[in-house]
Structure formats: C-alpha cells, structure tokens
Amino acid sequence: MPRASRAEAERHREQVIAATAKLVRTHGADKVSVPQAMAAAGLTHGGFYRHFASKDDLIAQACTAAFAERLAAMDDLAEAEGAGPDADGNAGQDTGEERGRGARATFLATYLSTLHRDNPALGCAAAALAVDAARAEPGDPLRRAYADGMRKLVDGMERITRKPGDDSPDEGTILVELSTMIGALVLSRACAGDDLSDRILTAVRDHVLGDDEHTPEGKDTSDTAG
C-alpha cells in the first residue's frame, strides 16, 4: 500500500474510533452498530473490516480512546497548576501543597458538575461504560480495555494528588475517591430530570472536596466543562 494510502487509512481508523468513543458514551456499546459508527465518522461501512477485526475490537479501542481523553485532560491540569502565574502575573511554580490541592480540587469539581453529567459523549468513560463492561463476558475486549483504563485513571489521580517530596498518595484513598465520584455521576445521570440528580452531585462534591470546594482562584467550577 502506498505511503499516502496508509496514512489515509490510519486517519480513517482514528476518525472511526473517535466517533465511536462519543457514540458508546452516549448510547452504550450495545446500542451502537457498525454502520452507525462508520456513518458518524463520515465513511461507508463497507470498509470497516479494513480497519477492525470485529465490532468488539472497535468498541474496545473506542473505550481506550475515551479513557485517554480523560487522562490527557488530567495531565494538562497538573501541568497548568504547576506553572500558573503568581500574584504579579509572572509565571512561577506553586508550592507542592498548592499544586496537589488545586489540581485535585479542580478535577473533582469539574467531574462532579452538571455540565459533565449532561454531556456524556465528551465525558469520562469510567462512568459511561461501567455497566457495559460489567455485563461483558470475562475476557471480552471491552472488559479488558475498561480495566486497563481504570488502572490508568488511578495512576492519573495519584499524579494530580501527589505533592513533591511526599510518597505516593495511599491507593486505598484514591480508590475510594474514584469509586465515589464515578458512582455519583452514574446515579445522577440515572436520575436526570429529577431534582435528586442535582442533590447527588452537590452532596458528593461537598463531601470529596471539603475545604477545597472552590478552585485556588476562588471560583466554583460546578458548571465547568467535564
């Protein structure tokens, strides 16, 4: 295959994965068909098997891509917190405590927001695909991709919580926090349209943030993009 054709094929494959990652987070893996995924990428479904071994293969790769989006956002947040301007507008380094607290607080407040709840297509795969992964058979590609994504999400939480010079945060604490916020997002979506949905997000956000309810700039991020 000529180099240009290989590059175009890879671009098409990435388009299909990106489009499918949005579809499965919105509708669930079982509700997304191969023709629907290809159409969302602007392609005909006749070329599907040039890119993927099966629908299960595509769904697993879409799950991996969706987790990667969240992890990239976490890394960007950690970098931004570490290189923000000082009080005089000059670039500088936050103290370790401020960086760890600020990145974690911003991430949690953003995650537990109504905007994140209402936009699953661009949201966290951990919440959007939890039921699909739980229903998958052992050894299913989606279940493997989901578990791998969760492990990386735990690592990401450790990175934005860790303070320079300190040991890694306790894994148990990270797991409890992740489980709490993912569960809250799932429940709030299940109750969407009822005031209980907002109350779940508010209660859990207040619980996990505590004294860090607001970002370092003092602005509540409960309606920030997820």
3 state DSSP class of 192: coil
Tell me, which fold does domain 55-86+93-211 have in CATH?
A: Tetracycline Repressor; domain 2 (1.10.357)
Contact 56, 144 (CB under 8 A): no
> What proportion of the chain, given as a percentage, has pLDDT over 70?
79
Residue 22: how many other CB atoms lie within 10 Å: 21
Q: Which of 109, 80, 133, 82 is nearest to 185 (CA)?
A: 109
Q: At what angle do helices 171-190 and 141-161 cross, to 10 degrees?
A: 120
Q: pLDDT band for 187, please (50, 70, 90 cuts).
A: very high
Amino acid at 100: G
Q: Which pLDDT does position 54 carry in this prediction?
A: 96
